[in-house]
Amino acid sequence: MLQALRVFRNTSAARCASRISRNGRISATSAATFSVRRSATTKADTLSPHYTQVYNPAQTVGYDKLDTFARRHFGPSPDNVQLMLLKLGYKDFDEFLSATVPAHVLIKRKLAVLPENGYTELQMLEHLEKLAGKNKIVRSFIGKGYYGTHVPPVIQRNLLESPEWYTSYTPYQPEISQGRLESLLNYQTMVSSLTGLPMANASLLDEGTAAAEAMAMSFHNLRGKKAKYVVDSQVHPQTIDVIQSRASKLGVELVFLQLNTNEGVAELENIAAETCGALVQYPATNGQLSDYERVGEIVHANKGLFAVATDLLALTLLKSPADFGADIALGNSQRFGVPFGYGGPHAAFFASTDKFSRKMPGRIVGVSKDRLGNQALRLALQTREQHIKREKATSNICTAQALLANMAAMYAVWHGPQGLKNIASRVYGYTAVLAAQIADNSAHKIQNSAFFDTITIELSGVSADEVLQTALEKHNINIFKVDDSSVSVSFDETVTKEELAGLVEVFTGKQADLPAELPRIPSEWLRSDEILTNEVFNTHHSETAMLRYLHLLQSKDLSLANSMIPLGSCTMKLNATVEMQLLSLPGFAYIHPFAPVNQAEGYKEMVDEFEKDLSDITGFAATTLMPNSGAQGEYTGLALIRQYFKARGEFEKRNICLIPVSAHGTNPASAAMCGLKVVPVKCLEDGLIDLVDMQAKAEKHKDNLCAIMITYPSTYGLFEPGVRQVIDTIHNAGGLVYLDGANMNAQVGLTSPGDLGADVCHLNIHKTFALSHGGGGPGQGPVCVAKHLVPYLPKHHFIDVPHVTEESIKAVNSAPFGSAAVIPVSYSYIKMLGSTGLPYASALAILNANYMLYRLKDVFNIMFVDHSEGKGIKHCAHEFIIDLREFKAAGIEAIDVAKRLQDYGFHAPTMSFPVAGTLMIEPTESENLEELDRFVEAMLSIRKEIDAHANGEAWGQVLKNAPHPLNDIISSSQEDWAARGYTREQAAFPLPYLKTSKCWPTVARVDDSYGDINLMCTCPSVEEVAGEA
């Protein structure tokens, strides 16, 4: 393969590079002469008549099923398509695509996805049920950070399964997001209360990556001057793997010590001067409870940070990490009402002291006020999104786990402090009973001197495998094998008396004689402070109250249930009910990620098929599903490239990553996390990559070039004709090409990263492949690679994932298949559209965007697209950018338009990315013509308001005061309204459709600066609420 790559470098790359002219553009002839890397033997059909067939295969009533999916997913009907095409000057879809996508890019290789014409909805459900049925539900006592939990039905149905919650976007527009912001604030407050640390974020991806973030934060806190990081050997093994994977790129040296022993503490003392921090697990992975006060003291005395991976249920009873000096507490909130789901999605938590508020990774919800002086929530300190700092970022977290954090927060709201303590006490009681029975009635030895929910048992006279077999065969119970002669058992809230009796029998061979009362946790371990004292955790305990609280919050928010969310670079397409419906099937939900693989055969079948389809769609050789966000995918892809060079002895040497200035902030952040030095590549005025600059930099750094990261179509929404020149030039200079697949929605079935010649890409299945955005997560960022990178795909500590070799990189996430429980969503999307439907998803996404562009181009400046024949790029890809900077002189900014759109019932497009002062619109294929037109009409109406403002007409002020919540319309004084220059009617109902249906903002424009200056990131306490009253 390497040889093939070299040949390729020497021939086409050299030829191509020379065709880049001095002004950074390519000559007209060069693009067409590039050879296609993969020959497209059969081509996808994108002719208009074929769309009619794909849209509705059952043209006449016959034997075939009528519940076809394409017409449910695609917004535009065939008639709509023809109408839009005519407006754009085309007769046929194919003709339009040929004019939009450069010829050497538009490959249209026929996908191998089966069934070719897609399953019908019912067939899909039956297929998924069958797969779920192949997973064996065994009661899990495996633990290791994943525990059984009862998902409260009121939360399952009204949050997890409610489109108002799962189809909303990250709450960047706070005025239409107060519901989920409140719920995330509850999450932060819950984490803060239980860990005892004042600052908590609104979730991270999983416990392993949260621990790696703690390590990186400790390292950067001392500016990289101390390279040792101490990890207790009783941290969960999967967490250790993720930390190791990250540490190796940053140059951090990990030291493993037994920090609950005197020897371990003495060793820590010896190296503390060179150590930037330490991490312990409390309770430890073997279940042991220890006091780590001395560890904290040593770390602090040497200016390091002390991090504690912990368990929220245990903390309802146990002393908090803050009690023994933790600077950081982290962990997984899964057992607060989120099922196993074969490893995720679950929300990790991360808390720290105030001192590190600006260094914490992830998003934080803060309390601020709105234009009218009322309390309002919003995402605090935009620096939370560390990747905004680009290559100076210390974390690349973007999408996190908002939906799951909301579930966990609501679980705490539902049970309240006493309810949670009761659950925890019962869990402890069960554990203690088993421990006592084993100690009293068997020769086995309990290794723990103190525990909460887990005990490790040193076996006597029987092997671990035999115990596991008895437990499984006689009691349908999984326990954890520590080594050949010891096992561990972890309890959770779902345990029954019968199961406890079964476990007693497994270990003692006797019938259980259970004590009348459950033992209580020894007082020396108990916390003495009150937990969860806030009103919200002490109010909604009846189902009526809870249902109304959930409904109250969701009704404050705009989601896809209300209107289109035209966020460029985010692809907020339909998350079809049929795709989401079976997420909660027990066969998918109740499988522990480290269960024996023969109990997860349904998952295996689905994972294999999904990986195969993604590899086909991207034109690559193999795929890993491990990364659980796009940014994690970027990190993984770059780590694979680094490993590729390591295998060639070039790890140290090849440390430069070229990244165009237009790239998403996670790109440079991920490169920095991979230990790469970022060299920016310029873009030209027309949005294209400056090929001359790119070539010069590739040439300059050719001895050290590791990779380039490009996004295709570019973040400017363009099918850059020079993409192949970029790829060839980088290959020619010895580097590899990372293609950010966040914009894959314009590629599927039309072209692909592999066909273009890239080496690796990630996909955001929470964009292109219809997984719901969940208000900021879950996500999944599969990484697809060319053949030469396959040997390095990540392995997992506990589970044999595909493609593992000696050279595989360590795990990048805690779970083997990332957020496996959401795979059915994207899998169904692919399987219901089939190989014939998928190319139309891209084609329609491109058509919808161009139709909107066409309708708006005469009143707004559209960036980088020149609609007049012959000059520049004629059509956008699946998104386009409206330039609002021309209105700045008249006092109008992008934010005014974004906020005013809320009065029209819309979520704003992506604001000021990738260019400040702009809006980037991406309609997706699932919006119909009526909705596209409704949005266009809103924009045209806003344009008139801009003109009014520019002309000094008083009513133009409507933009500056936007959005207008009901309390402004109804309660602001008569004098106030009289002075505004516009009426309440103009404010609230600028277009007639709003009188029949409107999603209202619930607060007025939120004051970001006030919130940042007066940072408050937990719910007000009962005292504060009382004080205000």
Identify residue 738 by its one-letter amino acid code. Y
Q: Which is nearer to ligand PLP, 417 or 630 (CB)?
A: 630
In the complex, minimum distance from the CB of residue 771 to ligand PLP, in angstroms, rounded to a whole number: 10
- Determine if the peptide bond prior to 963 is cis (ω within 30°): yes
In 192-304, beta strands by DSSP E: 199-200, 228-232, 253-257, 275-282
Distance CA 105, CA 722 (A): 10
Q: Which is nearer to ligand PLP, 559 or 711 (CB)?
A: 711
Q: Which is nearer to ligand PLP, 478 or 751 (CB)?
A: 751
Nearest residue to ligand PLP on Cβ basis: 630
Interstrand relation of 305-310 and 328-332 (parallel, antiparallel or unpaired): parallel
Distance CA 766, CA 826 (A): 8
Q: Which is nearer to ligand PLP, 286 or 666 (CB)?
A: 666
In the complex, minimum distance from the CB of residue 820 to ligand PLP, in angstroms, rounded to a whole number: 17
Residue of 156, 207, 177, 237 whose CA lies nearest to 347: 207
Phi, psi of 989 (to 5 degrees): -125, 60
Q: Which is nearer to ligand PLP, 242 or 313 (CB)?
A: 242
Q: Which is nearer to ligand PLP, 313 or 671 (CB)?
A: 671
The DSSP symbol for 12 reads I
Check: CB of residue 819 under 8 Å from CB of residue 780. yes
In the complex, minimum distance from the CB of residue 581 to ligand PLP, in angstroms, rounded to a whole number: 24
Q: Distance of CA 505 to CAs 461, 467, 509, Å?
A: 15, 11, 5
Start-end of H helices in 481-527: 497-508
In the complex, minimum distance from the CB of residue 709 to ligand PLP, in angstroms, rounded to a whole number: 9
Neighbours of 893 (CB within 10 A): 18
Distance CA 908, CA 920 (A): 9
Q: Name the token pair of 129.
A: 């049920």
Q: Which is nearer to ligand PLP, 26 or 397 (CB)?
A: 397
Check: CB of residue 476 under 8 Å from CB of residue 486. no
In the complex, minimum distance from the CB of residue 215 to ligand PLP, in angstroms, rounded to a whole number: 20
Distance CA 709, CA 671 (A): 9
Distance CA 759, CA 948 (A): 52
Q: What is the CA angle 242-245-251, rounded to 5? A: 130
Q: Which is nearer to ligand PLP, 659 or 799 (CB)?
A: 659
Q: Name the token pair of 792.
A: 């390095």
In the complex, minimum distance from the CB of residue 570 to ligand PLP, in angstroms, rounded to a whole number: 6
Start-end of H helices in 565-677: 577-580, 586-589, 601-618, 630-647, 666-673
Q: What is the CA angle 366-369-372, rounded to 5? A: 160
In the complex, minimum distance from the CB of residue 25 to ligand PLP, in angstroms, rounded to a whole number: 23
In the complex, minimum distance from the CB of residue 781 to ligand PLP, in angstroms, rounded to a whole number: 6
Binding residues for ligand PLP (CB under 6 A): 398-399, 569-570, 629-631, 664, 666, 711, 715, 740, 742, 764, 779, 781
Identify residue 300 by its one-letter amino acid code. H
In the complex, minimum distance from the CB of residue 57 to ligand PLP, in angstroms, rounded to a whole number: 34
Q: Name the token pair of 927.
A: 């919006």
Identify residue 11 by its one-letter amino acid code. T
In the complex, minimum distance from the CB of residue 487 to ligand PLP, in angstroms, rounded to a whole number: 38
In the complex, minimum distance from the CB of residue 357 to ligand PLP, in angstroms, rounded to a whole number: 22
Q: Which is nearer to ligand PLP, 619 or 779 (CB)?
A: 779
Helix, strand, coil % in the chain, rounded to nearest 5: 45, 15, 40
Q: Which is nearer to ligand PLP, 416 or 818 (CB)?
A: 818
Distance CA 725, CA 727 (A): 5
Q: Which is nearer to ligand PLP, 209 or 288 (CB)?
A: 209
Q: Which is nearer to ligand PLP, 337 or 627 (CB)?
A: 627
Q: Which is nearer to ligand PLP, 310 or 715 (CB)?
A: 715
Q: Which is nearer to ligand PLP, 471 or 570 (CB)?
A: 570
In the complex, minimum distance from the CB of residue 664 to ligand PLP, in angstroms, rounded to a whole number: 4
Start-end of H helices in 951-988: 958-961, 966-971, 974-980, 984-988
Q: What is the DSSP string of 288-304?
A: B----HHHHHHHHHTT-
Check: CB of residue 415 under 8 Å from CB of residue 504. no
In the complex, minimum distance from the CB of residue 787 to ligand PLP, in angstroms, rounded to a whole number: 24
Q: Which is nearer to ligand PLP, 402 or 457 (CB)?
A: 402
Q: Name the token pair of 938.
A: 């809103």
In the complex, minimum distance from the CB of residue 657 to ligand PLP, in angstroms, rounded to a whole number: 15
In the complex, minimum distance from the CB of residue 398 to ligand PLP, in angstroms, rounded to a whole number: 3
Q: Which is nearer to ligand PLP, 284 or 742 (CB)?
A: 742
Distance CA 248, CA 274 (A): 17
Q: Which is nearer to ligand PLP, 337 or 781 (CB)?
A: 781
Q: What is the CA angle 348-353-358, rounded to 5? A: 80
Q: Distance of CA 999 to CAs 701, 907, 934, 972, Å?
A: 53, 10, 14, 20
Phi, psi of 838 (to 5 degrees): -55, -45
Check: CB of residue 628 under 8 Å from CB of residue 778. yes
In the complex, minimum distance from the CB of residue 962 to ligand PLP, in angstroms, rounded to a whole number: 25
Task: Give the chain's count of helices (H) and strands (E).
Answer: 36, 25
Q: What is the DSSP string of 531-576?
A: ---SGGGGT--SHHHHHHHHHHHHTTB--TTTS---BTTT------
Check: CB of residue 479 under 8 Å from CB of residue 489. yes
Q: Which is nearer to ligand PLP, 322 or 631 (CB)?
A: 631
In the complex, minimum distance from the CB of residue 167 to ligand PLP, in angstroms, rounded to a whole number: 16
Helix, strand, or coil here: 480? Answer: strand
In the complex, minimum distance from the CB of residue 764 to ligand PLP, in angstroms, rounded to a whole number: 5
Bridge partners of 785?
Answer: 622, 760
